[in-house]
Structures are given as structure tokens and as C-alpha cells.
Amino acid sequence: MTAAQVGNGARLSAQPVPEGGTPTQTWVDAGLQLPDLDLAECPELVVVGAHPDDETLGFGATAALLADSGVRAQIVSATDGGAAYPELSLLQRYRLEQTRRAELREAAAALGVYAPISLGLPDGAVAAHEGRLVDLLLEILDGKPAGTWCAAPWRGDGHPDHEAVGRAAATAAQQCGAVLVEYPVWMWHWARPGDDAVPWARARMTRLTAAALERKRRAARCFESQFTAPVPGGDPVLPPAVLHRLLTVGEVAFC
């Protein structure tokens, strides 16, 4: 079985986020030599995230490039990310969900893509609603041009919601004839260059422009709720080292 089938949750769990994971410099020094992702083959883009910010951190600059070239690009978020901080009360969680929806709308505008679609599935439990997510994605993809790209978190990314969204996107793309493009987010945290758990043979890298990278940086800054823990002394979802790594390593897709 491949890593995409069995998942990499154990690898992510073994690398606590506050401890930093694989240093950014390790990836930079590796100088990944990957074939280019051919954006000319994309007639339309639907970029799916498990939580608001996945799409920006994993595929945002590529989406911005496509949008700038005239390709219709839209974000779909499976959840509203309300379980980012488990210690919150129900009311605090509701407010966080509303905040994260607003942040996602701001990020989409910064990237130059269409207003996002928020599906409202339970954060932290997407796997239990995978069939429903497949149906929703099929509705969204229905009627799109032939060869439309459905970009989604890599099925081996390590986070259970990411992997569930990746599986649902793979199923939906297969059923409707869309082109599945998988982008990693947490892989950069737990994996190492040349890691056997990563399907490097399928990896492609986007040639990003300075303008697209700046759009991604502006969009990433929209997710203020993820940079500061709501409880004094708590850990944010996106510590500075994690954000720096995701803004530095470039954007890779498995095709």
C-alpha cells in the first residue's frame, strides 16, 4: 500500500508542532529539483482545503498565478476550523468559526480568486463525513470544463482531516473526470528531503513569481486567529517557524 492509502498520522504525531519539525533550511539546502507544474493545462481551478488557510499555505501562490492568467479559481473549505483550539467553550468555538470564515474571505480576495465556499463539516471529524464531502464536491465540480483541476491536501499529509479531504477529492475527481492535484502542508513539517513516504516521482513544482508570492504572504497574514493562542501561554496553531517554512519552501503538487 502507498503512503497515500495508509496515511502518515503517526509521522506527524511524532513531530509536535511547537518543537518546529524539519527546519526550513534543511529543505532550502536540499535544493529540490522537480519538474515544473504546467499551469497551461488548467482550464479552471477548484482548490479544496480541510480548514481555512490550508489552500493559502499549500497552494495559494499557484492559485494566484492561475487567477492572474485569467483562469477561474475558487476556494472550497470543508470545515470552518472551529476545533483549532480544543479548550474553547461552545460559544468561543462558534465565534472562532465566524472569524475563520471572515479570514478566508479576506485571504481569497488577497489571492485574487473568487469568493470561497464554506461547507461547514465538523472540524476534526471529516473522515466520518467523507461520503457527504464527496457528494458536495461532485455538486461543485458538476458542469465545470473538462480537465478542471481539483486541488486538495495530499492524502498522505499526516493530519487526519487533510487526508480525509484528499481522499474525498480523489474520489470526486475520478467520478466526474476532474484532474486531481494534491498539495502538501504538514508534509514539510514531518518529512525530510528524499523521504520514502513521499511520492517524489509524482511531484511537480510551480515556478512562482515575486508577485504571486507576495499575494500568498498577504493572504497568509489574513489568518490572524491562527497566529495567537486564545489562552495566555497556549501554543498557536501556526507558530512563526511553521509559517516561515510554508512561505519559503515553494509549492509542490503530486499529480
Q: Tell me: the pLDDT tens digits for 184-205?
A: 999 999 999 999 999 999 999 9
- pTM of the predicted model as reported, rounded to 2 decimal places: 0.94
Residue 144 has pLDDT above 90, yes or no: yes
Residues 35-55: what's their mean pLDDT? 97
Write out the E strands in the chain: 44-49, 72-79, 114-121, 149-153, 179-183, 203-205, 252-254
What DSSP line would sit under 100-145, residue for residue?
Answer: HHHHHHHHHHHHT-EEEEEEEEPTT-GGGGHHHHHHHHHHHHTTPP
Q: How far apart are the C-alpha atoms of 15 and 248, rounded to whole Å?
A: 20
Where do the structural domains in the chain lie, given as residue ranges? 3-254
Q: Which residues of 47-63 are buried (b: 16+ CB within 10 A; e: fewer)?
A: bbbbbbbbbbbbbbbbb
Query: Which residues, 6+ apart, have CB-to-CB distance to 201 below 8 Å?
Result: none
What is the C-alpha separation between 234 and 61, in angstroms, rounded? 30
Answer whether residue 5 shows pLDDT above 90: no
pLDDT-based confidence at 6, cuts 50/70/90? low
Q: Where does the pLDDT of residue 230 fall: very low under 50, low under 70, confident under 90, or very high at 90 and above?
A: confident
> pLDDT per residue over 162-181, tens digit each?
999 999 999 999 999 999 99
Q: pLDDT tier at 1 (50, 70, 90 boundaries)?
A: very low
**In the prediction, which pLDDT does 2 show?**
43
| pLDDT in the model for residue 233 | 73
What is the share, in percent, of the chain residues with pLDDT greater than 90? 88
Query: What is the Cα gyration radius of the chain?
Result: 17
CATH architecture of residue range(s) 3-254? 3-Layer(aba) Sandwich (3.40)
